[in-house]
Structure 1
């Protein structure tokens, strides 16, 4: 999928969009997007199908956790074991983030923690992985930003591993950059598996107590070809969604940022995927 990083000439943007002057193609019958930004990419060919304000920097909430999973899998083995520290639990609770309800002292493998990151969007699970594989959260965030540069994400800055607001300023990214990341992340089997799983449970063992997690991505229940990827919300970011589908070997990847209505982001994503699938690649 190297083509996703090359300049493409097949951009389609809605009539109301602030389309790039380099790619002034207007979409016909494209779905209406109500959020602040949108991007739809044919990751199989590298063709940009839809663009609306895709270069504006803005907070992305828990879409941040896709990079966390991606960076972890660059160095860790899925079978590596991580012990949950009290600081991991306290971080999520004190920050008001969504959690995987992890308990301090439990020992879980990396692949189990990735389910905790990607399904319930656990800030505790993200913190545990960042702390372990930085080493330290600060070191891990530096790796996230270095990886963003390697992937060509030129308008992205991470300040933590989960997307929660930070006193010193939130991180930011763009719809385009997040689509580039989503396309690369979905090349990893472990991310593809976790992001596409609706429910995941762990039975109690000597290492940890039982857990049961449900994916926050509603598309997995409504869109047959959906394969992921990640939801997000903060007051500053609004409702966000990185989404993808695969049909007949063709993978579409999209991002919606800054929606004001949670349900509408899923409906819009489904409409974009259906519309994109009906278009022939250039």
Structure 2
């Protein structure tokens, strides 16, 4: 019984160590609930090891017995699935995470391999994800980032009546306008960037669509620089390419992942915050980030993030609920980490290379 109990205890420690903090805390409050299924899984192995232990009276045998017990726990596929479920509790029968976004694609940026997708070719409104293309067009034009731009009445949203923290008459450098458009998704800043482009808004939108064609974005169309127009559309597959292209611009990487920034607006200091709370999380290493929302698009989120020491592109479109897009991103991260745990366990069981 001692060996069997040790096995169960060992499994409990392993499961707790692989869970997210909140899950580990819950398991600690109800350890029997977490370890009971695992106890059934290892019962046969435990019985065999217990028999071996009774036949062994020498202390020198104890280390070998403990090692065998350790391997019995980790070798069981059922136990491995239990441990993985603790890390990513919402998975389907194929072991994929259950995401609540209507369309998504997760891809390895370095290899182009698609790890996960659903409705990835559906053409949908993308709201403020548009601003990544806005930023690329501005930077491609090599316009002076120090030039002072003015927010005019033309930049006020009359289509949806959305509010803004940047009043009409505000004068800011093009660089700050770009930062606010990417970080805080300021529509007036994005509008002003297009208006101050050579040829104005029509020329800017034409440049956006030419850039989309150059990147091979077959499902992508733009009618404005803000994303307030629901005719700005794309697909998850196209957006993987667009985010990858945006990640090659140092200023887009910097501005889209800045957690907060203080700007002087007509002599008054105001702090602007990033619309993606994950950029402030120590658990994430994010290279590019952009959120989006209008009624037609639902909640959207695109990111380039380093996971498993690889650059991954995450595109989540039309997420239902206020926090679903962030929760889906967390599910993807935990799913990838759980897969890594499976590989690590398999490597440990094979032992060191000879």
Say yes or no: TM over 0.5: yes
Asked if 1:97 is matched to 2:162, the reply is: yes
Select which of 264, 270, 274 maps to 2:330. Answer: 270
SS in 2 for 1:190: helix
| Cα distance in 2 between the residues matched to 1:135 and 1:249 | 43
Residues 116-127 of structure 1: matches in 2 within 5 Å? 116-127=180-191
C-alpha contact 2:103 2:118 (8 A) present in aligned 1: yes
Which structure 2 residue ranges, 5 or more long, are not aligned? 1-91, 341-354
The alpha-carbon deviation at position 173 of structure 1 amounts to: 0.6
More displaced, 179-188 or 245-254?
245-254
Larger helix share, 1 or 2? 2
Cα 1:31–1:150 shift into 2, 3 Å: same
Q: Alpha-carbon deviations, 1:44-80, whole Å to 9, x = none?
A: 2221111110001011111111110111111134633
Partner residue, 2:118: 52
Partner residue, 1:7: none
| Cα distance in 2 between the residues matched to 1:137 and 1:44 | 35
TM (norm. structure 2) is 0.64
Partner residue, 1:165: 229
More displaced, 240-249 or 263-272?
240-249
| Cα distance in 2 between the residues matched to 1:74 and 1:194 | 16
Partner residue, 1:250: 310
| Cα distance in 2 between the residues matched to 1:85 and 1:175 | 32
The alpha-carbon deviation at position 249 of structure 1 amounts to: 5.2
Q: Alpha-carbon deviations, 1:232-259, whole Å to 9, x = none?
A: 1111111111122125752111111111
SS in 1 for 2:196: helix
| Cα distance in 2 between the residues matched to 1:27 and 1:178 | 28
The alpha-carbon deviation at position 226 of structure 1 amounts to: 2.8
SS in 1 for 2:328: helix
The alpha-carbon deviation at position 172 of structure 1 amounts to: 1.2
Cα 1:266–1:140 shift into 2, 3 Å: same
The alpha-carbon deviation at position 132 of structure 1 amounts to: 1.0
The alpha-carbon deviation at position 277 of structure 1 amounts to: 5.6
Asked if 1:147 is matched to 2:211, the reply is: yes
| Cα distance in 1 between the residues matched to 2:105 and 2:163 | 26
Partner residue, 2:272: 213
SS in 2 for 1:202: strand
Computing the radius of gyration over CA atoms, which structure comes out larger, 1 or 2? 2
Asked if 1:38 is matched to 2:104, the reply is: yes
Q: Alpha-carbon deviations, 1:202-259, whole Å to 9, x = none?
A: 2468xx6533210010222344323341111111111111122125752111111111
Higher RCO, 1 or 2 (CA under 8 Å, sep at least 6)?
A: 1
SS in 2 for 1:140: helix
Partner residue, 2:294: 234
| Cα distance in 2 between the residues matched to 1:54 and 1:109 | 37
Select which of 240, 263, 273 maps to 1:179. Answer: 240
Asked if 1:193 is matched to 2:193, the reply is: no
The alpha-carbon deviation at position 115 of structure 1 amounts to: 1.6
The alignment's C-alpha RMSD in Å is 2.4
Which structure 1 residue ranges, 5 or more long, are not aligned? 1-25
Asked if 1:107 is matched to 2:166, the reply is: no
Cα 1:186–1:279 shift into 2, 3 Å: farther
Asked if 1:62 is matched to 2:122, the reply is: no
C-alpha contact 1:252 1:273 (8 A) present in aligned 2: no
Cα 1:260–1:80 shift into 2, 3 Å: same
TM (norm. structure 1) is 0.80
Asked if 1:74 is matched to 2:140, the reply is: yes
The size of the alignment, in residue pairs, is 248
